[in-house]
Copies of this chain bind each other. A is one copy, B any other.
Amino acid sequence: MTVIKGYNVAVVGATGAVGQKMLETLDKKDFPIENLHLLSSKRSAGKELTYKGETYVVKEATPESFEGIQIALFSAGGSVSKKLADEAVKRGAVVVDNTSAFRMDPEVPLVVPEVNEADITKHKGIIANPNCSTIQMVAALKPIKEKFGLSRVIVSTYQAVSGAGNEAVEELRQQSQDFLNGEEMTADLLPVNGEKKHYPIAFNALPQIDVFQDNGYTFEEMKMINETKKIMHDDSLHVSATCVRLPFFTAHAESVYVEVNDANITVEDIQQALKNADGVVLEDDPTNQVYPTPLSASGKSDVFVGRVRKDIDHPNGFHLWVVSDNLLKGAAWNSVQIAESLIKNNWL
């Protein structure tokens, strides 16, 4: 008999959009916590947050914060992870990192539990949580690849502002109200915090998420391309992405085109595979106008798939519409799932 014990858990970036969803998820899943440490940047230190009815004062994250910590959930931005993740590991913690800092590091497993849980065993202290838009896509691709083979993916995204943090949520809200009032909109943050130019997101669409790379793709697009290959263990998989920010608050949607290896596969085959997949919910009944939307998926932890269609010209081609809450399965939920897997499998 195993006696369930509690763990000393740190949440780094506890005051952020994802950090708050981490706390909600830990609570909802009744994660076995002995001591909870809420950490943040110096700027947010001193704020108070509640967890299961108790009030916690958020402390500034320093190397010493991780003394005695067994599990550290990081989502305070790449620079914080680069500075402190190793310090946490040095002090005995296993880090689940929700930033892009270590995702493509060959020494660091990049994990979506439904897709590649066993990769967690290879960890050397840090496990990376993939980019939100990648997680939901690979969750839908996994059962298709496993059953029918997969050679090609072309995705166009429809991404919520909360992926850019609480300030972007506020910016959309303020701009929307200003526009409805007939006032001029002020853009200070999106598409990318710190970039030279900012454009209104309210009642608009911005084909830029994260900074541009030399090849004309944005960093967000390259994350989707590279992370998908790593998670699916398939460097030969052709992946391309166009990432677009849109004026809604929560949940990303994706128009995904795939080519499977077998030309005899039907829409029903794909639907059946998705229906049986862990963490995926098929919502696909055009006759009754059933398909997922950002509003219908918000606040839920699954990945929803609808609009499964065969390409009209290409016998191996299919189209899918994939929607999931970017702060839950796309971030907090997936991170906590990794932490649960560490415990359940004694991989800590």
Contact = CB atoms under 8 A, between A and B. Distances in A.
Contacts of A206: 293
Main secondary structure of the interface of A (DSSP, over half): mixed
Contact of A205 (B196, B225, B246, B289): B246
A291 B205 CA distance: 11
Given A176-B176, A208-B289, A240-B311, 10 more contacts: A191-B289, A196-B289, A203-B248, A203-B249, A207-B253, A215-B312, A216-B308, A217-B309, A244-B255, A246-B246
Nearest to A296: B199
**Which of A196, A205, A240: most chain B CB closer than 10 A?**
A205
Nearest to A206: B293
A267 B158 contact: no
Contacts of A289: 191, 195-197, 208, 212
Contact of A207 (B249, B267, B307): B307
Interface residues of A, number: 59
A143 interface: no
A286 B212 contact: yes
Nearest to A180: B177
A346 interface: no
Interface string A183-227: 000000001000111011001111110001001110000000100
B294 A205 contact: yes
A293 B204 contact: yes
A239 interface: yes
Contacts of A308: 216
